[in-house]
Structure 1
Amino acid sequence: MRLTHDEALDLATAAARAAGAGEATARALAEATVAAEWAGSRAVGFAHLPDYLDGLRSGRIDGHAAPEISFPAPAAVRVDVRRGIAQRGFDEAFDAFVERTRSGGVAVLTLHDSYTVGELGYYTRRLAQQGLVALAACNATAQVTTLESGRPVFGTNPLSFAAPTTGARPFVIDQASSATAFVRLRQAAAEGAAIPEGWAVDARGEPTTSALAALSGLLLPFGGARGAHIAMIVEILGAGLTGGHWSIDAPHYAEGTTSPAVGLFVTAFDPERLVPGFAARLTAQIERLAALGVRIPGSHLDITALDIPEALVAALRAGA
């Protein structure tokens, strides 16, 4: 079903309100959901929204929690979302974070006690739209193992980087340290599709290409030990430096009544302090790489409308 931007925003806001979110939380969640769709990150757009709605109804998300924002250092912003959502905490700290980054040239934001952060690129992209370079890391419920361990030890632990360009879109990379994101695995299982080798293991710890079998198993890091090392770096940033739960200690985001209480780490800096004309310089380099056949993240996207599955729209409207 094709929706306008405002229709999609109103649909997501109404669904969040009906699930128990206060106005500020509902709006923050809706804006992030719609932004993910426009960015081409559909797996963490409307497809992920029902997880939030279930979290609100079950109590895993406090839909009325107001974030507590503090400033432990001139170039640091700390946000306790108090079992709420990271999107609202980031929204309310955003202006202060940008101001501190521009004032000192660099700043750090840490956020903890959160439900899943949704699309990680949402946070870095917004900073790049302000002319800043940003790097973000977050952890999540442990759903990733290593072939040596056989136990859930890491979250999908994504990493995102964004930088301003002279074009309409900033340059954004947003990828999990696991071979795929859990929401993509779940989508493949729903469609009855096979998954590539190296994505996951089944309940017995055996590598599998069955998405359905993988749902009762665990994901694998990309690139073997190298991907596991990236997951560990992200874990130290996303949980260790924020005070959020380590992934291995985080309650499941889709089960029970307790928040995963994980963390988000974001650092941003003003590139103009280092290289005047950075955006134009980066744009020229991206164009040169593209001419050499390098795949540029996001270059394949040409989204001109929001097309949401009709069954999902109907379910959201019914719930709202």
Structure 2
Amino acid sequence: MYKQKHRVKTEPDGNRVPFASLVPLPLVSSQKRETRGISETVRLTLDEIRNLSLSILTASGFGAEHAAAITNMLATCQIDDCQSHELFRLFNCTDTMKAGKIDGHAEPVVAPSDNAIVRVGAQGGMSRLAFEKALPVLIEKTRTHGMAAYGRDGD
């Protein structure tokens, strides 16, 4: 098992680039690890994080839109050092999919309304895609009404 560390490296051109490091957790006595010259720290650029996330999510059954929405959130949280939603969240997403608790191809439905409330039905899919579908409507309603609220139906 690995835990994640967020770091920033300085490129030769002076730009600071965030990346993730996966650091091994202490092993249980029954576990064995052979390193054979392999580094125990894996460092990933944000592009590598995005590619890894997309490939893991699509391989576990998420459709392209859901995988992209989750990947965008994970990459943003990685940059912001939001430790509750960084790269390790992939495990939760794949476990949820394997358990059959969500539909990785569900198309969220934004309910029409004339007021400042934006309601979205996730249709059994992940809430992240539902929010991304609602965001343009939420922005429009904020411009129209001066404020707006988002609510996701529990489906």
Question: What is the TM-score normalised by the length of structure 1?
Answer: 0.34
Give the residue type in structure 2 aligned to 1:52.
C
Give the residue type in structure 1 aligned to 2:63.
G
2:98 maps to: 57
What is the SS of the residue equivalent to 1:7? Answer: helix
Which deviations, in whole Å up to 9, do the C-alpha atoms of 1:209-259 show, x marking residues without a partner?
A: xxxxxxxxxxxxxxxxxxxxxxxxxxxxxxxxxxxxxxxxxxxxxxxxxxx
Kindly report structure 1 stretches of 4+ aligned residues shifted beyond 4 Å.
Answer: none
| Aligned 1:102-181 pairs, distance under 5 A | 102-113=143-154
What is the SS of the residue equivalent to 1:69? Answer: strand
Higher strand proportion: 2
What is the SS of the residue equivalent to 1:106? Answer: coil
2:121 maps to: 80
What is the SS of the residue equivalent to 2:119? Answer: strand
2:70 maps to: 29
Which deviations, in whole Å up to 9, do the C-alpha atoms of 1:151-200 show, x marking residues without a partner?
A: xxxxxxxxxxxxxxxxxxxxxxxxxxxxxxxxxxxxxxxxxxxxxxxxxx
| Runs of at least 5 residues in structure 2 that lack an aligned partner in the other structure | 1-41
| Aligned 1:238-277 pairs, distance under 5 A | none
- The number of aligned residues is 114
* Residue 13 (1) aligns with residue 36 (2): no
C-alpha displacement of 1:42: 2.1
Cα distance in 1 between the residues matched to 2:124 and 2:116: 25
What is the SS of the residue equivalent to 2:49? Answer: helix
C-alpha displacement of 1:112: 2.5
The answer to whether the 8 A contact 2:74-2:86 is kept is yes
Give the residue type in structure 2 aligned to 1:13.
L
1:45 maps to: 86
Cα distance in 2 between the residues matched to 1:46 and 1:104: 37
Give the residue type in structure 1 aligned to 2:54.
T
What is the SS of the residue equivalent to 1:111? Answer: strand
The answer to whether the 8 A contact 2:110-2:121 is kept is yes
Cα distance in 2 between the residues matched to 1:6 and 1:85: 23
Which deviations, in whole Å up to 9, do the C-alpha atoms of 1:38-68 show, x marking residues without a partner?
A: 1111232112220111111221121000001
| Runs of at least 5 residues in structure 1 that lack an aligned partner in the other structure | 114-260, 262-320
C-alpha displacement of 1:74: 2.5
Higher relative contact order (CA 8 A, sep 6+): 1
